[in-house]
Amino acid sequence: MRLLRRALTVPLATVLMICVIAAGPILLAVTGVVGLATRSSRPVRTVALTMAYAVIELRTLAKLLSGQRDGDQLVHEFLGLAYAAVQRVLDVRVVLDPASPTKGDIPTDQPLIVLSRHCGPGDSVLVAWLLTLGYGLRIRVVLKSILRVEPLLDFAGDLGCLCFLDRGDRARRQIRELAASLTGGQALLLFPEGANFSWPRWRAAIGELRSTGGIRAAKRALQQSHTLPPRTGGAAAAVTGAPRANVLVLTHSGFCLDGRARPWWQMPIHRELLVRTALVTSSALPPPDRLGPWLERVWTQVDAWVAANATASDTTSGPLERGPDQRGR
């Protein structure tokens, strides 16, 4: 099955990326005219970023096919190139909130579980860049199995950097086993919301809570309109697998003025992604079977922080609550 899938996806992706690069000059000329007519640089920037990604994809895929086996180095190089392209082409950069813990505040002798907000296409790449190049962590990321159709991700999964989840109990077992394999300096990146924020998903999540008897949870979710209700299963599985791991709660301001979802085709330009992190030591975490209420409280704080810090002009920090065993500055 894997060989058959790659026999289809690798040639298709390669041809597509080559076509993007070859057609790039013409597309840049056309979008330049469109940009002049609409008084917007977004069309040209979109094409330029697509071309940059095509180059990065082909370069990284060539390394994988030639036998590159150092997954951490591969991820480091890919994220460095991707962030440089986003900075230069879109004028988008990541800014760490001053109240967040620094690299030196993260214990290197213990593994780390990162619980991150997820909103909009591409934010996961910038979050991964911050963790890898900003905090110096060796990340492990869980992804939906459908993403194996992207050959770059598919091959990276063989190197242990990525974990493609099945459904239900099997997915939780995968997360637990991956967390148990973590060592000091390694971080498992999870997105408790399960998907990018969107209004249809937000309404569907509230409807699901109501239909399953979670009236109080549904009322809470109605008041938290910047995030989806967090799912406990993955986080609890990770904590079960790595009971000594600390937890880093990560949220960000998003790319729209209201901090919510944006159309996938509308590239952000001249924006800062303000990121706030809070470190929770393993001793401050509740047992895995009582993690649900804790995660709900944390996500209430995450939602409040996003609401207070969404606009580009507002760079003040909102309250991510810290207990006595939490670190940060």
Q: What is the secondary structure of 79-139 as a DSSP string?
A: HHHHHHHHHHHH-EEEEE-TTS--GGGS-SSS-EEEEE---STTHHHHHHHIIIIIS--EE
How high is the pLDDT of residue 104?
Answer: 95
Tokens for 138?
């060796």
pLDDT at 290 over 70: yes
pLDDT mean over 94-110? 95
Same domain assignment for residues 63 and 98: no
Helix (H, G, I), strand (E, B) or coil at 244: coil
pLDDT mean over 305-324? 55
The domain boundary residue, chosen from 67, 101, 122: 67
- Which residue type sits at 230? P
How high is the pLDDT of residue 316?
Answer: 37
Q: Please check whether residue 314 lies inside any domain of the structure.
A: yes
How high is the pLDDT of residue 319?
Answer: 38
Report the distance separating Cα 278 and Cα 250, nearest Å: 7
Q: Please check whether residue 88 lies inside any domain of the structure.
A: no
Same domain assignment for residues 38 and 153: no
pLDDT mean over 48-59? 97
Close Cβ partners of 42 (under 8 Å, ≥ 6 residues apart): 35, 266, 267, 269
**CATH code for position 320:** 3.40.1130
How high is the pLDDT of residue 162?
Answer: 92
The domain boundary residue, chosen from 67, 85, 114: 67
The domain boundary residue, chosen from 17, 49, 67: 67
Determine the longest span between alpha carbons in the chain, in angstroms: 59
pLDDT tier at 325 (50, 70, 90 boundaries)?
Answer: very low
pLDDT tier at 256 (50, 70, 90 boundaries)?
Answer: confident
Range of the domain at 48: 1-67
Close Cβ partners of 317 (under 8 Å, ≥ 6 residues apart): 97, 98, 99, 276, 305, 309
Q: 189, 114 in Cβ contact below 8 A?
A: yes
How high is the pLDDT of residue 321?
Answer: 36
pLDDT mean over 228-233? 93
Q: Please check whether residue 310 lies inside any domain of the structure.
A: yes
Q: 1: how many CB neighbours lie within 10 A of its CB?
A: 5
Same domain assignment for residues 122 and 211: yes
**Arithmetic mean of pLDDT over the chain:** 90
Same domain assignment for residues 62 and 163: no
Strands 186-190 and 112-116: parallel
Q: Please check whether residue 203 lies inside any domain of the structure.
A: yes
* Residue 249 backbone dihedrals phi, psi, to 5 degrees: -90, 125
Same domain assignment for residues 277 and 237: yes
Higher pLDDT, residue 301 or 314: 301
Same domain assignment for residues 58 and 103: no
Same domain assignment for residues 124 and 271: yes
Q: 166, 175 in Cβ contact below 8 A?
A: no
Q: Please check whether residue 185 lies inside any domain of the structure.
A: yes
Tokens for 227?
């995030």
Close Cβ partners of 99 (under 8 Å, ≥ 6 residues apart): 276, 317, 320, 328, 329
Q: Please check whether residue 80 lies inside any domain of the structure.
A: no
Number of domains the chain contains: 2
Q: Please check whether residue 84 lies inside any domain of the structure.
A: no
Nearest CA to 281 out of 118, 111, 56, 141 is that of 111
Same domain assignment for residues 213 and 141: yes
Same domain assignment for residues 283 and 213: yes
Tokens for 212?
């399953």
Where do the DSSP E strands lie in 186-270?
186-190, 246-252
Q: 96, 104 in Cβ contact below 8 A?
A: no
Same domain assignment for residues 18 and 143: no
Distance of CA 65 to the CA centre of its chain: 26
Same domain assignment for residues 290 and 144: yes
Q: Please check whether residue 82 lies inside any domain of the structure.
A: no
pLDDT mean over 54-71? 92
Provide the H-helix boundaries in 116-214: 123-129, 151-158, 168-180, 199-211
pLDDT mean over 222-229? 92
pLDDT at 56 over 60: yes
Residues in the chain: 329
Same domain assignment for residues 191 and 145: yes
